[in-house]
A and B are shown apart, each in its own frame.
Chain A
C-alpha cells in the first residue's frame, strides 16, 4: 500500500486544491461518455454463465418422468442437511422414484455437492438466483417447484459433462 500523504507533505499545487478538483472532474466527465455496463435490475436481468451455481433443481425428462431415483445421496452429502427425500416404488423400468423431494432453501448453501454426487445427473444447479420467501414454510421447495424440463437445463448439463 502506498504511503499515506500527510498534510505537511503536500506540494503547493496540491494545497491550493483547485487543480485537484479539475483533475477529478475530468475523470468523471470521461467516464460519463464511456459505454454503460451496469444493469437496471429487475427490468434487465442478468443471464449467468453455465458455471453459475443457482438454486438446485430436479431434471424432468421429455417423457414427463423425473430422472431422480431417490437414492438419497444428495441428502447424505449435503453439508447443511437441506435435502429430504422419500422414495417409493413405481411400475416403470426404474423401480424407484421420489415420492417427496424437498429442499429447504434456508439451509441450502449452494455448494453444489448434491449435483456432484448425483449418479443419475438428476439434480443440477440452475441459473435461478431469485429466491424470495416471507416465511419458513415457503422456503421449503417441494417437487412442484424443483422439477424443471430438461431443455431449460441443457446449458448446465453440457457444462457438467465437459468439466465434472
Chain B
C-alpha cells in the first residue's frame, strides 16, 4: 500500500483517499466543519488547511488526494496561522449566542474556537444581523445568524435524504439558507441536519431549550420504530428521556435515523398512560394489587385450561429474552406462542425506513414462535378453536379490529403484559406492568439478521442507576433524594422475561434467571442461529447472525 507522512508519522492509505481521510484513519484529527465522511466534498470552510511539502500554497486536506511520498504537516506554524485566520473570519459574524444556544457543549465551532482561536476579537464593527427564528420545516428551526455556511445540511438533504429542498441564497456575508419557494423542509430524515450542523444554526423543535447537553446521561440503545433497528443514544435527565440521537454503525444506519424514530419512539416511556404496578380485575374494574397475589392467582387460573383452550401471544415488540421465556411458559401447557406482525405496506424506502414497524419480528420467528400475517389469522384462531383463555405479551391486538376486541372481551381469562394503557390492557383480567425498551437489557434481531442489544437508560423501582451500572450524569452521581432534580418518577414495572419466569416458578417449575444475560446464554445454547454468541460479543455494534427462515 502507498504511504504518506503526516506530522512525521508514516501512514498507509488506500488510493483515492483524501488527506483528511487518511489522517482520520490513522487517528489524526484535522479540524473540519464542512467535510463529513458520508457527504460529498464541498471545501468551503477552509479550516482543514494543511501544509504539504513542495506545494506552493497550503491545501485543504478534504479535497486533496493523498499520493505516494506526500509529506503533510498539520501543526506546522504556517498551517496553524492559516487555521487561526480562518477561525477569525468565521467568527466575525458569528453571534455570541452560546448561553442561549442549544448546541453549546457539543458545538464544533465552540471547540475549535477554544483550541485554535485567539481568545479575543479584533472586529470592532457591528455584526451582521439576520433572521433568528426561521421555521424551515415541521421539526427544524433555523437561526441564520449562527450559520457558518458549511452547506452540510444542503448536501445531506440532496445526497442522503434524496430530497433536494434546501439551498443557499444571496452572496457574501448576506448568504443564508432557505427552502425552495413553496417547499417545506419536511422529508422523513430532516432532523439529521440538526446533528450534522457544526454550529447551533439548525435546532430540533422538539428538544429546543429542554436541557443542556452536559446535564444528561447517554446510553447506547436501539430504536424500536421499525425493523431497521437504528443504533441510537438515549439522553436522560432526572429519569426522563429528553431526546434520541443516532449512533454511528456502518452496517445498519450509518450516522442517520428517521424523524419518526427520533420523535415518536420514546414519548410513551414517561407518558401518563404508563401502567404502574400490577392490576387485577375486581367486580369489573381493574384495581391495583400486589405482585405475589397476581403470580399466585394467575398460576392457579392458568392451570384450569387445557392446551387447546389457551392461546399464548408473544410480540415482535418484545426482546428475544421476553419471547423465549414466554415460549418456556407455553411449553408448560404443551403450547407454542404466536406472534402478530405489524406491517404497513408501502411505508418503506431505500434509505432506512422499513415497512415492518416492529424491531424484533425476525428474532421472534427465529425463536420458533408461530407467525401470524395479520389480525385475521388471529381471529380465525379465536373463531375456530375453543379458546377460553389468552396470555398476551406486549402487543395490542384489540386495537386492530372490532371483532377481535369482541372475542378478547368474551374470554374467561385474559392476562396481559403492557407498558402503557391500551385497548387490550383495558380488557385484561390480570394486567402486568412491562418495562419499556429503555428500562431493560435485551436483544433484537433486525430485518437483515443483525443481533443488537438494548440497555436500560431509565430507572424503574427494581433498577438502580449506580448499582446496575447504568450510565450516569453528574447530577445522577451526586444527587440525594432531597434534591428536586433527582426525584424523577420510577415506575413499578418489570421486564416481561422476569414476570414470566416468576410466574413459571409459581407453577412449581424451577427456572432461575437473575439477569437478562442468563436468559440470552440459554437461548444461545438452545437456538441454532445464536450459537456461540453472548452479550459481550454483541457489543455496541451488534453481530450478523446466520439463519434460514422458512
Contact = CB atoms under 8 A, between A and B. Distances in A.
A76 B483 contact: no
Nearest to B96: A119
A53 interface: no
A72 B101 CA distance: 11
B214 A87 contact: no
Contacts of A119: 98-99
A69 B104 CA distance: 13
A141 to B, nearest CB: 12
A94 B96 CA distance: 12
Contact of A102 (B133, B209, B475, B484): B484
Contacts of A73: 99
B24 interface: no
A101 to B, nearest CB: 12
Contacts of B475: 81
Contacts of B210: 87
A156 interface: no
Nearest to B478: A81
B395 to A, nearest CB: 36
B404 to A, nearest CB: 43
B482 A72 contact: no
B212 A72 contact: yes
A87 B483 CA distance: 18
Given A81-B475, A87-B209, A89-B208, A71 B483 contact: no
Interface in A124-151: 136, 140
A70 B104 contact: no
Given A76-B212, A89-B208, A81 B483 contact: yes
Interface string B452-475: 000000000000000000000011
A81 B482 CA distance: 12
Contact of B132 (A75, A95, A120): A95
Given A81-B478, A84-B484, A84-B485, A69 B212 contact: no
Nearest to A72: B212
B100 interface: yes
Given A81-B475, A120-B99, A89 B215 contact: no
B484 A70 contact: no
Interface in B173-194: none
Residue in B98, B100, B104 with the greatest tally of chain A CB atoms within 10 Å: B100
B214 A76 contact: yes
Contacts of A96: 99-100, 209
B217 to A, nearest CB: 15
A51 interface: no
A89 B209 contact: yes
B100 A71 contact: yes
Given A76-B212, A95-B132, A96-B209, A69 B485 contact: no
Contacts of A88: 209
Chain B residues touching A, range: 20 to 34
A89 B132 CA distance: 13
A96 B214 CA distance: 18
A87 B242 CA distance: 13
A89 to B, nearest CB: 5
Given A89-B209, A104-B483, A95 B214 contact: no
Contacts of B132: 95
Contacts of A70: 100, 209
Contacts of B211: 87
Given A76-B212, A89-B208, A89-B209, A71 B484 contact: no
A94 B100 contact: yes
Residue in B132, B209, B214, B482 with the greatest tally of chain A CB atoms within 10 Å: B209
A76 B208 CA distance: 19
Interface in A33-81: 69-73, 75-76, 81
A102 B486 CA distance: 13
A150 B414 CA distance: 64
A17 B484 CA distance: 64
Contacts of A84: 483-485
A87 B210 CA distance: 6
A81 to B, nearest CB: 6
A87 B100 CA distance: 9
Interface in B188-227: 208-212, 214-215
Contact of B100 (A76, A95, A102, A140): A95
A51 B478 CA distance: 31
A88 B210 CA distance: 7
Contacts of A104: 483-484
Contact of A140 (B208, B478, B484): B484
B486 to A, nearest CB: 10
Interface of B: 98-100, 104, 132-133, 208-212, 214-215, 474-475, 478-479, 482-485
Given A84-B485, A96-B99, A119-B98, 16 more contacts: A69-B99, A71-B98, A71-B99, A72-B212, A76-B215, A81-B474, A81-B478, A81-B479, A81-B483, A84-B483, A87-B210, A87-B211, A95-B100, A95-B133, A119-B99, A140-B484
29 contacts: A69-B100, A70-B100, A70-B209, A71-B99, A71-B100, A71-B212, A72-B215, A73-B99, A75-B215, A76-B214, A81-B475, A81-B478, A81-B479, A84-B483, A84-B484, A84-B485, A87-B209, A87-B210, A87-B211, A89-B209, A95-B132, A95-B133, A96-B99, A96-B100, A96-B209, A104-B483, A104-B484, A119-B99, A120-B99
